[in-house]
Amino acid sequence: QKEVEQNSGPLSVPEGAIASLNCTYSDRVSQSFFWYRQYSGKSPELIMSIYSNGDKEDGRFTAQLNKASQYVSLLIRDSQPSDSATYLCAVNIDRGSTLGRLYFGRGTQLTVWP
């Protein structure tokens, strides 16, 4: 069973604060990791992808990956009310193949209040 676990929240932070979102996964062969943002009633949009251990920064977003601990996180700096959404962690489990299937966590609902 491929499992991707996220704290469903809700996570509530004030504007300007750092929001920290966490995700753990059960399959050790997972190779690629993604964070998507989903607004209510809309489809997911890609925020970050990360493939190797360590940190990856893109603007206000930083993804962190630790394969030994099977843990991936997303930090949002200087949070804005427009960041309020559900954040989905997705893990690619098809090692060595071209299938590229993603398994998603249930998502963490983030609210940034002014």
Residues that bind other proteins (CB under 8 A): 32, 34, 36, 42-46, 49, 88, 92, 98-107
How far is CA 64 from each of CA 23, 35, 87, 94, 107, rounded to the nearest angstrom? Answer: 10, 11, 15, 21, 17
Smallest Cα–Cα separation from 63: which of 77, 45, 48?
48
Nearer to other proteins, 17 or 104 (CB): 104
Nearer to other proteins, 82 or 98 (CB): 98
Q: Using DSSP, state whether 22 is helix, strand or coil.
A: strand
The minimum distance between CB 47 and other proteins, in angstroms, equals: 11
Nearer to other proteins, 6 or 62 (CB): 6
